[in-house]
Amino acid sequence: DAKTTQPTSMDCAEGRAANLPCNHSTISGNEYVYWYRQIHSQGPQYIIHGLKNNETNEMASLIITEDRKSSTLILPHATLRDTAVYYCIVRVQGGADGLTFGKGTHLIIQP
């Protein structure tokens, strides 16, 4: 699986959009970009994934650059409950083994 690079921490004001970047310059053509988050002391939670097109669901939007070497997770209206560690993971879809987690980005939503 390709390696990802994320900032260690970020702050965002409540009600504003939180934009979390991820670099994955060695991504292969068949690898997807997945985002998970982990709220303190809980198990990780799936947010969204994509291959090359931008994706949106009820939780977030995922913007992948045209060369696929980086992506941005967008939480459109951040709330205090969005304070968590966000993990960007690159892997082939359908693989039987587990996910490779880095240290992620600690997003802190400020009131």
Partner 1 sequence: NAGVTQTPKFQVLKTGQSMTLQCAQDMNHEYMSWYRQDPGMGLRLIHYSVGAGITDQGEVPNGYNVSRSTTEDFPLRLLSAAPSQTSVYFCASRSAAGAEDNEQFFGPGTRLTVL
Q: Mask: binding to partner 1, 56-85, rule CB under 8 A, as x and -?
A: ------------------------------
Using CB under 8 A, pick the residue from 49, 52, 59, 61 that binds partner 1: 49
Cα end-to-end span (Å), the chain: 37
Contacts of 24 (CB under 8 A, 6+ apart): 2, 3, 4, 5, 31, 33, 68, 69, 70, 71, 88, 90
The nearer residue to partner 1, 81 or 103, going by C-beta atoms, is 103
102 is a site residue for partner 1 (CB under 8 A):
yes
φ/ψ of residue 57, rounded to 5: -140, -170
Applying CB under 8 A, the residues found at the interface with partner 1 are: 34, 36, 41-46, 49, 87, 93-94, 96-104
